[in-house]
Amino acid sequence: MKLSAAVAVILCAFTAPASAQQPHDHAAMARVADASVPQEMGQSAFAAIQEIVRMLQADVMTDWSRVNIDALRAHLVDMDNVVLHADVSTTVAGSVVTFDVSGEGAVRESIRRMIFAQAATAHGDAAWTYTARQTDRGASLAIETRDGASAAKLKALGYFGLVSQGPHHQVHHMMIARGQPPH
């Protein structure tokens, strides 16, 4: 028993460096799906890009001359800047809820792109009217509601809860990656 364990250790010692120098067999790695292999990609932007690249590769209709993964990455950077680094203050005045989103440098520019895109798409409840304006430190998004319950819901959701609603971001990301107008 001790001899076979020693042989196994010796074999591992001699074979590990050789196998470490071989290129990775990504297809073989993808087939392994058990509890010993992590499933999380390690970073959400990377995971989003990986998922979309996998979908584009599986779609025989993908027009590779239009695909723009760099544009998707830039959008994901904007999302990261806004979600993780922006400051938001909320005010409610009657039926209008205003989110003032602010930051410095690259964060400020990301805020402006995100807020104006959101106001342009107005993907919220049909009873809401979106208005965006640029501020010195970012942008504000004012949403006029038709009833008090909607205003209460918006205040409770906050800016980040508002933008997280629905599956529109996934479609938006695929459109960006495909080189299509996203808004």
Compute mean pLDDT per 10 residues along the chain, 183 residues long, and list them.
43 43 54 65 88 96 97 96 97 94 98 92 73 97 86 92 82 90 75
The position carrying tokens 């989103």 is 101
Q: How many CB atoms lie within 10 A of CB 59?
A: 11
Q: Please check whether residue 45 lies inside any domain of the structure.
A: no
Crossing angle of helices 69-85 and 106-121, rounded to 10°: 100
- CB-CB contact of 95 with 152 (8 Å): no
Distance CA 148, CA 83 (A): 27
Structure-token pair, residue 119: 């106001």
Residue with tokens 């695929």: 174
Q: How many domains does the chain have?
A: 1
- Please name the residue ranges forming H helices in 38-181: 44-58, 69-85, 106-121, 148-164, 168-177
Is position 88 within any domain? yes
What's the Cα-to-Cα distance from 23 to each of 13, 38, 40, 57, 176, rounded to whole Å?
Answer: 19, 20, 22, 22, 32
Q: Is residue 106 part of a domain?
A: yes
Mapping DSSP to helix (H, G, I), strand (E, B) and coil, where does residue 124 land? Answer: coil
In one letter, which amino acid is 8? A
- Asked if the structure places residue 121 within a domain, the reply is yes
* pLDDT computed for residue 104 by the predictor: 98
Output helix, strand, coil percentages for the chain, rounded to the nearest 5: 55, 15, 30
Do residues 168 and 145 make contact, with C-beta atoms less than 8 angstroms apart?
A: no
Q: Residue 171 belongs to what domain range?
A: 69-177
Please report whether residue 53 resides in a domain. no
- Which pTM value belongs to this model? 0.74
Is 75 inside a domain boundary? yes
Amino acid identity of residue 148, one-letter, is G
Whether residue 160 lies inside any domain: the answer is yes
Q: Assess if residue 11 is contained within a domain.
A: no
Spatial distance between the Cα atoms of 24 and 160, rounded to a whole number of angstroms: 40
